[in-house]
Amino acid sequence: MRSSHVPHPDTADFEQVTVSDVSRVYGRRRALAHVSLTCSAGQIIGLLGPNGAGKSTLLGLLSTLIEPSTGEVRYGDRTAREAGAALRAQVGFLSHDLQLYPELSARENLEFFAGMYSLDRPAERVGEALTSAGLADRADDVVEGFSRGMRQRLALERALLHSPRLVLFDEPFTGLDEAACVALVMRLRALRTARRIIVLATHDLDVVDGLLDHAIILRRGRIRELGDGRSLRERYRAAIVDRGGGRRPAGPDGGGVTVARPVKAAEEHTA
Amino acid sequence: MSGFLKVAWLVLRKDLRVESRNREMLFTTLFFAVSCVLVFSFGFVRGGQAVEGAASGILWITIAFSGTLALGRAFERERNHDALRGLLLAPVDRPAIYLGKLLGILLLLAVVEAVVVVLVAFLFRAPLFQYVWRLLTLLTLGTIGFASVGTLFSAMLVRTTNRAVLLPVLLYPVTIPVLIMGVSGTAALLQPEPDLAMARLWIGLLFSFDAVFLTLAFWTFEPVMTE
Amino acid sequence: MRAIETSENMPENSEGRGQLSMSKRLFPVLTVVSLFLFVTAPIIIVRAPYESTMGLVQKIFYFHFPSWMAMFLAIFILGVASGIYLFRRTPAADRLAVAAAELAVIFGLMGLITGPLWGVKAWGVWWQWDARLTMAVILELILVAYLLLRQYGGAGSERLAAGLGIFAMANVPFLYVSTEMWRTVHPRTSVVPTLPVEFGIPLWWSFAGFIVLCLALLSVRSRLEEQRATLERLYLALEEE
């Protein structure tokens, strides 16, 4: 297992990511408002919420590529700006678009990133990654011809190639069939055992039910408390339906959307 | 420093490999450059004779236009599958990524220019090969000047929705000095009595432009790329 | 919820307030000084001797030259403020940069209008590919491109505009030299310092007027931008209620 890999000496390792009172504003649009949370090693944290709730922005912030407008994100005791490139070596990001070059083969894609991360024993690690993606026999085919599932598996291995401490997933289950979902869940559990910090944004509540150590619900850029209920889906629904009965005033940006709509959007995605 | 050059080389090799697979940028840019020269000929040939001194202008404007096309495509490729995010997340000196992309563009433009120069010399009977080394220096320095600004602008515009329009809008005004220097330098070589001292002066100016703008681009790439 | 809101806005507000009071104090002073200079300038210009070859048209020079200088000042401020914003992320620097860019466009336009007015008398044509005029047109293009980027670049375009602002300033010497070598029919710049005193006094008088006016407008424009930012904050706070 690659979990035994000793981190690169010049990387800034950490055991905890602390987001304190972070807001991110784009002009008049507030993508995130006063978000605080702590993610510790060996935890899987789920970011749930309707489309446009700020999940991707939060992932971007955690990945260091987006800077907070106010508040700060600390990795261990350092901020992204203090730690710079050394910290980025500890971040793995599987975004919705898979960050692969379709013209290159599976092996070339992995080799390129192995080079960019200056990994030791690159050929060996690329080989291992291809095996665990189940692509060993298609390693030299260009990614263009791969199915969504195959690309997804390759992209996952690419994101984990450098054994990052913090692993971020944006909708990792979309486009995966049942078997692939199960495999990914197992992979996530293994990462948890390897004391990674895993944050995943998802709509697939049934798949992640029972997997998450923490579920964070975002709505309009704010964190909401999980509601009561037996399954994650019930608790999510309880949280997302405004308990105040929709007393939110209508803002000029159409802020008065009916409270039921976001849930419906989430369901459409799960279907 | 070796790490820096290694990253630049990795990015360049990746781009060359992608390009060697589909050759899209090379063929489209070449075709565009050739049609550009032809379009200009209809503007500047009167009675079967090219307007005097048109050759140097046509040469440089064609380079600028096809360069813009290539620059737009080069970063569209990185944007397509969110690959740019992968690059920016890598624990490397980010200016090295800029350097790798710039070198790729320069190589592509070198091929395009080889064709365009021959074409202009042939169609306009311009004595372009009279002072090969001086012309080569002018072209190299001019292309570096244009592409160093262009690569930075194209990279920073990746995040905007109007990038296709904004790239030429920003790039042409800022690189007008390159155009003036390149055209005047080439014209000095092409005129009936070549003015070599003048050409040398323009070469020197281009060199200092490149030095200043390359430095600035390396310096601003990192802060411009963070959101 | 309210408590959190105020605590978030406090640091930004207090920084903003310091800025505000400074430009608030600065603006009236600058305005009064520039008003004084502008009101008295015509008197001084009329009293200045009548230039023999150009006649009355020569007096355009008292507006033409200072408006260029104001434009260069604005471009310089744009470049420096852009650099500060890019590397320090100071919001105030960005507001100053927008103000400077807009003013540079306006003063540049004044130069571009007065230039041909003078040219039609001096050269007999409205437009002449003269080095200074060419350079001014190109600078104007770059500045308008800057404003276009801010307008149509979408969220986060301030950062990109700051990059462009630095490039705009760095371009000035290259444009100067290359247009100079490319074409020159303009009266040599060296005439300005050696101008006879009777011409010099009104020139520097209007020069001071334009510079002070530029600074006054700069302070009021960046204050407007700052209040816009405050409004944005208040709007967001209201939305959160």
| ∠ CA C159-C162-C164, rounded to 5° | 115
Q: For B10, which of A89, A98, A112 is closest by C-beta distance?
A: A112
Q: A35 - beta bridge partners? A: A22
Average pLDDT, chain C: 80
Residues of C in contact with A249 (CB under 8 A): 241
Domain that holds residue C92: 2-240
| CA distance linking residue A236 with residue B168, whole number of Å | 48
Average pLDDT (A149-172) is 90
| CA distance linking residue B153 with residue B202, whole number of Å | 25
DSSP code per residue over chain A: -GGGPPPPTTS---SEEEEEEEEEEETTEEEEEEEEEEEETTEEEEEE-STTSSHHHHHHHHTTSS--SEEEEEETTEEHHHHTHHHHTTEEEE-SS----TTSBHHHHHHHHHHHTT-SSHHHHHHHHHHHTT-GGGTTSBGGGS-HHHHHHHHHHHHHTT--SEEEEESTTTT--HHHHHHHHHHHHHHHHTT-EEEEE-S-HHHHTTT-SEEEEEETTEEE-----SSHHHHHHHHHS-TT-S-PPPPTTTTT--THHHHHHHHHHH-
pLDDT tens string B60-112: 999 999 999 999 998 988 888 888 889 999 999 999 999 999 999 999 999 99
Chain-chain contact of B85 with A108 (C-beta, under 8 angstroms): no
Residues of C in contact with A26 (CB under 8 A): 155-156
Rounded to whole angstroms, what are the CA distances from A260 to A30, A50, A74, A240, B86?
21, 11, 35, 8, 36
Question: What residue in A sits closest to B14 (Cα-Cα)?
Answer: A112
Structure-token pair, residue C18:
């310091």
The pLDDT, as a whole number, for residue A26 is 80
Average pLDDT (A131-154) is 89
DSSP code per residue over A163-186: --SEEEEESTTTT--HHHHHHHHH
pLDDT score of A245 more than 60: no
pLDDT score of A231 more than 80: no
C11 or A91, which is more confident?
Answer: A91
Helix (H, G, I), strand (E, B) or coil at B45: strand
The pLDDT, as a whole number, for residue B175 is 94
| CA distance linking residue B80 with residue A256, whole number of Å | 34
| CA distance linking residue A20 with residue A10, whole number of Å | 26
Phi/psi at A254 (5° precision): 75, 35
The pLDDT, as a whole number, for residue C194 is 57
Question: What residue in B sits closest to A68 (Cα-Cα)?
Answer: B227
Q: A218 - beta bridge partners? A: A223
Average pLDDT (B170-192) is 92
Q: Give yes or no for a contact between B157 and B166, defined as CB atoms under 8 angstroms apart.
A: yes
Chain-chain contact of C155 with A30 (C-beta, under 8 angstroms): no
**A60: distance to nearest CA of chain B, Å?**
9
| CA distance linking residue A57 with residue B103, whole number of Å | 32
The pLDDT, as a whole number, for residue A181 is 86
Residues of C in contact with B223 (CB under 8 A): 86-87, 159, 162-163
Burial B107-143 (b: 16+ CB within 10 A, else e): ebbeebbeebbebbbebbebebeebeebbebbbbbbb
The pLDDT, as a whole number, for residue A244 is 44
Question: What residue in B sits closest to C177 (Cα-Cα)?
Answer: B205
Chain-chain contact of A255 with C239 (C-beta, under 8 angstroms): yes
| Dihedral sign of CA atoms B153, B156, B158, B162 in order | negative
pLDDT band at A221 (very low <50, low <70, confident <90, very high): confident
The pLDDT, as a whole number, for residue C189 is 52
Percentage of chain B lying above the pLDDT 90 cut: 67
pLDDT score of A173 more than 70: yes
pLDDT tens string A60-103: 999 998 888 888 999 988 888 888 888 899 999 998 888 899 99
Structure-token pair, residue A59:
């992932």
Size of interface B-C (CB pairs under 8 A): 88
Average pLDDT (C84-103) is 93
Least confidently predicted of A206-210, B104-108, B223-227: A206-210
Domain total in chain C: 1
* Most confident listed range (A169-183, C3-17, C39-53, C167-181): C167-181
Sequence ranges of the domains in chain B: 2-225
pLDDT tens string B124-141: 888 888 888 999 999 999
Instruction: Find the CATH number of the domain harbouring C40.
Output: 1.20.120
| A98 vs B: CB within 8 A | yes
pLDDT band at A228 (very low <50, low <70, confident <90, very high): low
| Dihedral sign of CA atoms A54, A59, A65, A67 in order | positive
Question: What residue in A sits closest to C231 (Cα-Cα)?
Answer: A28
| A104 vs B: CB within 8 A | yes
Size of interface A-C (CB pairs under 8 A): 25
Structure-token pair, residue A20:
């304190």
| CA distance linking residue C60 with residue C118, whole number of Å | 7
Question: What residue in C sits closest to A255 (Cα-Cα)?
Answer: C239
pLDDT score of B183 more than 70: yes
Q: For B166, which of C138, C153, C162 is closest by C-beta distance?
A: C153
Average pLDDT (B12-20) is 93
Q: For B157, which of C160, C167, C177 is closest by C-beta distance?
A: C160
Average pLDDT (C26-35) is 82
Q: For C170, which of B152, B166, B216 is closest by C-beta distance?
A: B216
The pLDDT, as a whole number, for residue B8 is 95
Rounded to whole angstroms, what are the CA distances from A113 to A98, A196, B219, C156?
13, 20, 24, 28
